[in-house]
Structure formats: structure tokens, C-alpha cells
């Protein structure tokens, strides 16, 4: 199975990156893994012009189609997102906004292959799970409009720096063991 790990953080080597490393190490034993960091791509902000509602294509020329190609390749997608003011980071939100051409809320729309499964891992510095749940809801809402089947999630609280991830390693591996 092809699995895409998406680091939704603009920080490649922080706590989100550590979670990606653990997931990658666990999953690569039995799956083919691609790992991307949202900050490695040039993503323009949506202009709200709605041209894509008529053409199923965006007027902007950036790297969104490269990320969509990775989504197309994958059977399962795992988005790992830290909390930035109680939601996904702006870079990932800009990507979500730019996926409107592939969104099922208008016709015509472009489409990735059906049957993909989507998983979410949210992390935050505080101890309240509500914020993780909000991030998970944002990712699963995105999955729904892309017709990716939300298939599981994990919320990790009290993760401020990457050294705090080590204590949660088994929890991350247990979550990864459920990924199909």
C-alpha cells in the first residue's frame, strides 16, 4: 500500500517532524511511504475568483498540483498537524483553500481517485484535547470535500518541543498499526 505522510507544519524538524519520523519508521516496514512537508511547496493564496467552479482548474500556477499528484499516488494519507492558534497552520490552510478545484461542492470539479483513506494526527502544547479535536475536524472536513474517507485520528496534548514526542512513541506506533 502507498502511504503519504504530510507534515502540515512549516517547521520540518520540530515536534511534528518527530512524529512523522516515528510513523515513517513504523510504516515503511510494510508499506511504500512518501513524506512531504507543506513548507517545501510554493502555495499561492486562493483569490476567491471561483473560476475553478466553471473550469475545475485554478488560474494560479504554483505547486498545488504537485501535492495533489502525491495525494493521487497514495492509498492512504496521514496529515500530521500542530496547533497554530487552535487550528491548522496557515500554510496548510492555504493548501486546503487551493484544493477548491478538486472539491465536491461544485460541478465541474477535478477529482482524485476514489477509495482513499485519510488519517489525522494533531498535536498541541497545552493539555486540553478540545484544540486537538478542532484540528482533526478541520482535516477531516477537508478530507470529506476531497472524498477521502476519514478513517482514524490521534490527538497528542502537552507536546511543546520535539523531545516530548519520545514519551508518546508507543502511542504513535499503536495508531500507525491501525492504518490500512
pLDDT, tens only, 62-100: 999 999 999 999 999 999 999 999 999 999 999 999 999
Instruction: Indicate which CATH number applies to the domain containing 140.
Output: 3.40.50.360
By CB neighbour count within 10 A (0-12 exposed, 13-18 middle, 19+ buried), where does 23 fall? Answer: buried
Tell me the residue range of the domain where 119 lies.
Answer: 2-176
What pairs with residue 36 in β-bridges?
6
Q: CA 48, CA 67: separation in Å to the nearest integer? A: 20
Residues in the chain: 180
Beta strand ranges found along 26-162 (DSSP E):
32-37, 76-82, 117-123, 149-156
Number of domains comprising the chain: 1
Whole-angstrom Cα Rg for the chain: 16
Q: CA 7, CA 170: separation in Å to the nearest integer? A: 19
pLDDT, tens only, 112-148: 999 999 999 999 999 999 999 999 999 999 999 999 9
Report the phi/psi class of residue 50: left, alpha or beta, with left for phi > 0 and alpha for psi in -120 to 50: left
Confidence grade of residue 45 (pLDDT, cut at 50, 70, 90): very high
**DSSP strand pairing (32-37 vs 117-123):** unpaired
Amino acid at each position: 500500500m502507498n502511504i503519504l505522510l504530510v507534515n502540515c507544519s512549516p517547521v520540518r524538524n520540530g515536534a511534528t517532524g518527530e512524529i512523522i519520523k516515528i510513523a515513517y519508521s513504523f510504516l515503511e516496514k510494510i508499506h511504500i511511504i512518501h513524506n512531504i512537508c507543506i513548507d517545501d511547496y510554493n502555495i499561492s493564496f486562493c483569490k476567491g475568483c471561483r473560476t475553478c467552479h466553471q473550469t475545475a482548474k485554478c488560474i494560479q500556477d504554483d505547486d498545488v498540483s504537485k501535492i495533489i499528484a502525491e495525494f493521487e499516488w497514495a492509498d492512504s494519507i496521514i496529515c500530521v498537524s500542530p496547533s497554530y492558534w487552535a487550528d491548522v497552520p496557515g500554510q496548510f490552510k492555504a493548501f486546503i483553500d487551493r484544493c477548491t478545484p478538486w472539491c465536491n461542492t461544485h460541478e465541474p470539479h477535478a477529482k482524485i481517485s476514489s477509495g482513499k483513506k485519510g488519517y489525522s494526527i494533531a498535536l498541541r502544547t497545552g493539555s486540553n484535547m478540545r484544540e486537538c479535536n478542532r484540528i482533526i475536524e478541520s482535516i477531516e472536513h477537508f478530507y470529506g470535500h476531497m472524498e477521502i474517507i476519514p478513517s482514524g485520528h490521534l490527538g497528542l496534548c502537552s507536546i511543546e518541543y520535539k523531545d516530548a514526542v519520545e514519551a508518546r512513541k508507543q502511542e504513535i506506533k499503536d495508531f500507525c498499526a491501525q492504518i490500512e
